[in-house]
Amino acid sequence: MDLKNKDKQLRASFEQAAPIYQQARPDYPEALYEELIQAANLHAGDRLLEVGCATGKATLPLAKRGFKITCIELGAELAAAARQNLRGMDVDIVNQSFEEWQPEAEHAFDLVFAATAWKWMDPEVRYLKAWQSLRPGGHLAFWSAEHVFPDGGDPFFRDIQTVYHELGEGRPVDQNDWPRPGELRELRYEIEQSGLFEAVHLRHFDWERVYAVEAYIQLLETFSGHILMETWKRDKLFHEIRDRLNRRSDKSVRRHWGAVLHVARRKERHGLRGSAKR
């Protein structure tokens, strides 16, 4: 089954953010990389395959640790920005969709990973393609940077919802859509249901960043929903955000980020089920 048209549109929208993506998007915690390396038993020189590298936010820290990385990136502008950001590193960037890319059996990878990109891959394809790309005993890892709402966090985000709702773009009232740190959805069941991997390590990470007014606007300009928002809506929203934040004494906003690191080990072919059937 192909990705739905709306999902394809959202996935392709990040091309428009290529010039600002590297600067605007948050860095992932160093502890996340260290935990990934330990959980997947990685060593300098190992071959990694990144799914959806964008401009190289997660690629660069791992390349600096001595890994050889092949990146599959759908967007031509994002891939070009990644090549610029990763010059001098042992990184090869392929401008193609992961679903259409074909792995070479003689060049199996030690790790397939995706940072804030796994959800955009076709769910009917992603686990099988990752399995086919890995050596026996290799690992799959993925995580996302998502907004979490700690007790005592910045009230701005709930307050600004009045504007989003006026524009028909508000978050659901359901409290489940306002997760606290440690409450983000875990995908252990999905991993196990693939029949191709066994989940071996899950851990929640959270961190906070303070954004000046224009830095926060720039961050929003890298989110697919804001990129595809009608121009008049986006202009009204950004005007209101600027007005509210500029009235603060520090002219800034505190945003709390969360991620769930999932690490799974490749199973052998015997006894596989579900998406392993071909």
Measured between alpha carbons, how far is 30 from 7 in angstroms, rounded to an integer?
30
Structural domain of 15: 5-148+180-207+257-269
Measured between alpha carbons, how far is 221 from 193 in angstroms, rounded to an integer?
35
Measured between alpha carbons, how far is 185 from 200 in angstroms, rounded to an integer?
16
Inside any domain, residue 165 = no
Inside any domain, residue 29 = yes
Inside any domain, residue 226 = no
Q: What is the pLDDT of residues 192-207, one digit of tens each?
A: 999 999 999 999 999 9
pLDDT tens, position by position, for the chain (278 residues)?
Answer: 345 666 777 777 888 999 999 999 999 999 999 999 999 999 999 999 999 999 999 999 999 999 999 999 999 999 999 999 999 999 999 999 999 999 887 789 999 999 999 999 999 999 999 999 999 999 999 999 999 999 999 999 999 999 999 999 876 666 558 999 999 999 999 999 999 999 999 999 999 999 999 999 999 999 999 999 999 999 999 999 999 999 999 999 999 999 999 999 999 975 444 444 33
Three-class HEC string of 32-77: HHHHHHHHCCCCCCCEEEEECCCCCCCHHHHHCCCCEEEEEECCHH
How many CA atoms lie within 13 Å of 108's alpha carbon, on the beta-carbon side? Answer: 14
Predicted pLDDT at 176: 59
Measured between alpha carbons, how far is 162 from 91 in angstroms, rounded to an integer?
45
Inside any domain, residue 39 = yes
CATH number for the domain harbouring residue 199: 3.40.50.150
Inside any domain, residue 98 = yes
Inside any domain, residue 36 = yes
* Mean predicted lDDT score pLDDT of the chain: 92
User: Taking a C-beta distance cutoff of 8 angstroms, is the pair 58, 142 a contact?
Assistant: no
Inside any domain, residue 46 = yes
Structural domains counted in the chain: 1
Inside any domain, residue 41 = yes
Tokens for 75, please give them. 């967007």
